């Protein structure tokens, strides 16, 4: 069917559009994969399913990100530069980290799968794989978090993003957002209180399809700021010079 995701990664076509799934927009996934086409394929599909996704191209970078960022799931290859996926997994579990880990590897023997699971992986999927199965396994892992209630909205001060109806409000007044403005605001709200760089915004909101010199981020941030800010209220969307942007969590700070 035109516009749908391919069922296997074996042909690596350009992804255009995925069928929307019930992904929690505050769920963060880290892909640790050194093969760029595979990582990009997975990332694009998961973004279109509603997840926030980061990529690490080697084991050491993956370990650093996993320790410093609050991910819900790690998708982990085994054969990685730096340190391999099994060593990365061993180090993470030795620190007491209980983030869900799904190993995605071409190493598919019984002994490979047993080793990965014994080291602390929650699931193991072999390549080549069907994206639909990967997504189903991710959703299954998320359902294990029985105590975690998926939010219906994101809130920063009096700015509210209704995730079910894809609407934004400030002080009870609805804000008219274009689709990319909504995606940008959602990403900023998920990362509230943290500085996000221009490159991170390009990757998470638009993917890798734009030249680094584009002013796309600046234009959309400017438009979003005009829509969400109020002259009689504290400024929420801050520009951090030389670093990026932050949706401010502290209503006492204004510009």
Model confidence over 126-147: pLDDT tens digits? 998 888 889 889 988 888 775 5
Kindly report each contact of residues 86-90 with a partner whose C-beta sits within 8 Å and lies 24 or more positions away, as own/partner: 86/115, 86/116, 86/119, 87/59, 88/32, 88/59, 88/62, 88/63, 89/116, 89/119, 89/120, 89/121, 90/119, 90/120
**Residue pair 238/248 in contact by the 8 Å Cβ criterion:** yes
**Alpha-carbon distance 195 to 240, whole Å?**
7
pTM exceeds 0.75 for this model: no
Residue of 220 and 150 predicted with greater confidence: 220
Q: Give the pLDDT band (50/70/90) at residue 209.
A: low
CATH for 28-143 is 3.40.50.2300
Q: Give the pLDDT band (50/70/90) at residue 3.
A: very low
Question: Considering the chain, what percentage of its residues have pLDDT values greater than 90?
Answer: 46
What residue spans in the chain does CATH classification 3.40.50.2300 cover?
28-143
Instruction: Give yes or no for residue 15 having a pLDDT over 60.
Output: no
CATH for 153-247 is 1.10.10.10
What residue spans in the chain does CATH classification 1.10.10.10 cover?
153-247
Q: Give the pLDDT band (50/70/90) at residue 24.
A: low
* Structure token pair of residue 62: 């993956």
* Structure token pair of residue 161: 């993003």
Average pLDDT over every residue of 200-224:
79
Question: Considering the chain, what percentage of its residues have pLDDT values greater than 70?
Answer: 82
């Amino acid at each position: 069917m035109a516009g749908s995701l391919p069922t296997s990664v074996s042909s690596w076509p350009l992804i255009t559009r995925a069928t929307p799934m019930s992904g929690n927009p505050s769920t963060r996934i880290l892909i640790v994969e050194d093969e760029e086409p595979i990582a990009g394929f997975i990332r694009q599909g998961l973004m279109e399913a509603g997840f926030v996704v980061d990529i690490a191209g080697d084991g050491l970078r993956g370990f650093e990100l996993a320790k410093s960022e609050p991910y819900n799931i790690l998708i982990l290859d085994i054969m990685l530069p730096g340190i391999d996926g099994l060593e990365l997994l061993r180090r993470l579990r030795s620190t007491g980290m209980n983030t869900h880990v799904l190993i995605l590897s071409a190493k598919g023997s019984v002994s490979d799968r047993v080793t990965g699971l014994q080291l602390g992986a929650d699931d193991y999927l072999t390549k080549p794989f069907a994206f639909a199965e990967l997504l189903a396994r991710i959703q299954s892992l998320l359902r294990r978090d029985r105590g975690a209630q998926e939010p219906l909205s994101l809130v920063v001060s009096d700015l509210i993003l209704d995730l079910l109806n894809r609407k934004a409000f400030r002080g009870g007044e609805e804000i008219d957002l274009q689709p990319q403005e909504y995606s940008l605001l959602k990403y900023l709200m998920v990362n509230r209180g943290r500085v996000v760089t221009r490159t991170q915004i390009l990757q998470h909101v638009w993917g890798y399809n734009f030249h680094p010199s584009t002013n796309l981020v600046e234009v959309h941030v400017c438009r979003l700021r005009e829509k969400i800010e109020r002259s009689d209220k504290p400024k929420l969307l801050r520009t951090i010079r030389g670093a990026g942007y932050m949706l401010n969590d502290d209503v006492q700070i204004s510009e």
